Amino acid sequence: MESEGITAKIVDMDWGGFSKEELVDMISKFDPDIIGITSFTSNYANAVDIAKAAKSHNPNIKIVFGGVHATFIHRDVLHTIPEVDIVVRYEGERAICEICDALDRGRKLENVKGISFRHDNRVFSTPLRHRIENLDSIPFPAFHLLEPSIEHYIGEGKEKGFPIITTRGCPFNCIFCSTAALHGRKYRTRSANNVLDEMEFVQDKYKINVISFADDNFTMKRNRVIELCRGIKERHLDFEWGCSARVDLLSKDLLEVMNSSGCKNIFFGIESASQRVLDTVKKGFSIEKAKEMVKLTEKMGIKTHCSFILGLPNETVESIDEMIRFVEETMPSGRVLPNVLEILPGTELWDKESEYFGNTPSIPAADIIRVQLELFYKFFEISSKGRELLTIEPPDIEIIGGSTAFAQTQM
């Protein structure tokens, strides 16, 4: 947006912990023409609250929703939330700039591809735009626009961490995940040099020393990972870093290369310890492979974090208990995350919910809570994590969620 002459600010409502009153105060001071709000399924209600607060303060502000949730229910958003004027569908880097230009010059929104909007109480959707093939063409995130400051975001302690996204797309078929639907099945990547340039930039500019590669499948292309790891060492980039990986896209020699360049954490989406459930949700690997890879990764000195989903199709009380035995056997030294299933728009599970759950009795809530508590207990029991228990704060379910961007369209 800056490269197009658009003045903008970024407000992370989750991280900053801003109240609606503080948001309105920021809107008053910046006086934006457009407010863009990212909406995930988990924060959609809060995103709507933000839109209502902004619109009640200034009815002339244009509210633009984007993100995975709004993408797949865009017509519903525009029919039911009058405060939302426009929805950007799928990727938004180019669309938001064209929206700003159209509104500033009084041009028709019909010419902006990949959006839906309301006009005369009717909802119109423009043709989709092509996905961005050359991810290197996207400028580095505008960290300096974060409110109240990038320093507030990364913290002032010894470890200063930041996420970097290096890929888009996923060729796999997990029925509960919306990544492939949002970004396509083609796995698109930034070049290793482009990623290394960003790492070098944040290290020099913000003294970052911990990087989290926030890709769904960081190790999809083995040779690219190796090139990136070699580049980290050749450029003398002193980082600890972590990533997410599938258990079937790692090997001992690849782990060695990753570890030698600073990889200290790997997040595995195990989802279920039942092979029947894994097959049902089309995860595409065996539970034995998952056990093998968690053990191997731990043996090599890399901390593993294991995520599970409670309540998937074909799940039973007995199968969720297998998650506890999985943790007891593999002993992951990182976080153990027992999440409750949330059915997301854009997924096969959303489209075929009755087919997958039609004849499956629901698991009693008491059993889900019991397994969650037992998995949390195992997490703290492994490696004597009492100190971590004392430092973890419970989530505040009243917090306003969503990332909000303000834009002024004068160019």
Q: Are 345 and 73 in contact (CB under 8 A)?
A: yes
Domains (range + CATH), the chain: 2-90+92-130+399-408 (3.40.50), 149-363 (3.20.20.70)
Cα dihedral 68→69→73→78 (10° resolution):
-110
The model's pLDDT over 106-118, given as tens digits with 9 standing for 90+, comes to 999 999 999 999 9
On whether the CB atoms of residues 9 and 29 are closer than 8 A, the answer is no
Residue 37: what are its φ and ψ, rounded to 5°? -130, 125
> pTM for the full model?
0.88
DSSP secondary structure code for residue 221 in this structure: S
pLDDT of residue 306: 95
* pLDDT band of 409, cuts 50, 70, 90: very low
The SS3 assignment for 283 reads: coil
Confidence of residue 386 (pLDDT cuts 50, 70, 90): very low
Pairing of strands 336-340, 303-310: parallel
CA nearest neighbour of 269 among 323, 221, 309: 309
Segment 49-91, tens digit of pLDDT: 999 999 999 999 999 999 999 999 999 999 999 999 999 999 9
Per-residue pLDDT tens over the stretch 3-58: 778 888 888 877 767 788 888 898 899 999 999 999 899 889 999 999 999 999 99
Please give the Cα distance from 102 to 407 (Å, whole number): 13
Bridge-partner residues for 405, per DSSP?
10, 36
- pLDDT for 380: 65
Q: How far is CA 153 from CA 10, 11, 79, 143, 208, in A?
A: 12, 11, 35, 9, 11
How, if at all, do strands 161-164 and 210-213 pair? Answer: parallel
Structure letter (DSSP) for residue 158: S
Q: How far apart are CA 116 and CA 106, in angstroms?
A: 17
DSSP string, 67-106: SHHHHHTHHHHHHH-TT--EEE-S--HHHHHHHHHHHHHT
| Rounded alpha-carbon distances, angstroms, from residue 200 to 138, 209, 233 | 17, 10, 12
Region 282-303 average pLDDT: 97
Per-residue pLDDT for 406 more than 90? no
Does the pLDDT of residue 287 top 60, yes or no?
yes
Banded model confidence at residue 389, pLDDT cuts 50, 70, 90: very low
The per-residue pLDDT for range 180-235, each reduced to its tens digit, is 999 999 999 999 999 999 999 999 999 999 999 999 999 999 999 999 999 999 99
Total Cβ atoms within 10 A of residue 154: 20
Q: Peptide bond before 148: cis, by omega within 30 degrees of 0? A: yes
